[in-house]
Amino acid sequence: MGALRRLIQTLVALGTNSYLLFPWASVIYQGPLKAVCHPGLNCYSCPGALLSCPVGAVQNFISGLRYTAPGSMPHLGAMVVGYLGFIGTLVGRLPCGWLCPFGFIQDLIHKIPSPKFNLWVPLRWVKYGVLVVMVILMPFFLLDQYGIGQPWFCKLLCPAGTMLGALPLVILKPQLWTTLGFYFWNKITILSIIVILAVLIARPFCRILCPLGAFYSLFTRMTLVQLEFNEGNCVQCRACVKVCPMGVVPHEQRDSRECIMCLKCLDACHFRALEFGLRRPLPHPREVHNPSIIQGIKNT
């Protein structure tokens, strides 16, 4: 399963960043595929990017809500919200584990040999704050002199944008150097911290800061697919806990919002205590209790 996931991550990362004409033609791809959002975090200003970034798109829709040209309808971004909500409802955070290019990059960085550490658990709540404040509230309320908001998550924080968008563009277009200021160096600092953290801790950005992961995680309790725990088969060896990159304890936390369904735990478990498949409905209470058994107990 691990090899398959690595193959899919590689194919998706390369396939969705396969515009190779940037040294000769337009510096970024400008074709019809840009009307489609990537299911993971992938900066649309990356010279190779074929698809749009969902987080950037949501922020841009929100930032334009309060400025609408006379006679035209505001763009609500319903298409992107519908698209992300549809994915989230069907598979939850599975795109984080299998499709997100920045998640894949963090996985690769974490392979660098070094002492490994666990993340302080309460930090996982920060990403919900990032989603609400930087992706929704700030683009809506902080407007410039023209009445238009800014994509503040992209501007202040996004390390994927810095790594895949800013750095390649700055190298390709040296004239951009004169326009770089506080925001660029701030993002370079954040990217450096994330890269160093990714060596020491598995997927720090996904666990602490990613607003897309936070959005998908809202649906993990009702997704079409699930990681099922068979209590009878578990011998409490904690092999699953040791391999989980997100710090989930599968036998204690059912349907964890942190689970990215990478299925490393499935590979690690030799007792078939974990299964991945379609979510089965919980049995109705009346089906659990056999009336004849209850009657027998009463008679004794």
Partner 1 sequence: MPKKAIWLVIIFTLLFVLGINTGDLDYLMNLGNTICLSCIGVG
Residue 75 Cβ vs partner 1, minimum distance, rounded to whole Å:
5
Q: Closer to partner 1 at the Cβ: 169 or 239?
A: 169
Q: Closer to partner 1 at the Cβ: 10 or 30?
A: 30
> What is the 3 state secondary structure string of 29-97?
CCCHHHHCECCCCCCCCCCCCCCECHHHHHHHHHHCCCCCCCCCCCCCCHHHHHHHHHHHHHHCCHHHH
Q: Closer to partner 1 at the Cβ: 73 or 288?
A: 73
Residue 168 Cβ vs partner 1, minimum distance, rounded to whole Å:
10
Q: Closer to partner 1 at the Cβ: 189 or 233?
A: 189
Residue 50 Cβ vs partner 1, minimum distance, rounded to whole Å:
9
What SS3 class is residue 277?
Answer: strand
**Look-up of token digits 């200021």:** 181
Residue 284 Cβ vs partner 1, minimum distance, rounded to whole Å:
13
With contact defined as beta carbons under 8 Å apart, do 85 and 177 qualify? Answer: no
Closest listed residue to residue 50, CA positions, set 23, 12, 3, 92: 12
Q: Which residues bind partner 1 (CB under 8 A)?
A: 27-28, 30, 32, 34-35, 37, 43-45, 51-52, 56-57, 60-61, 73, 75-83, 85-86, 89-90, 150-152, 154-155, 158, 161-162, 165-166, 169-170, 176, 179-181, 183-188, 219, 222-224, 278-279, 281
With contact defined as beta carbons under 8 Å apart, do 52 and 32 qualify? Answer: no
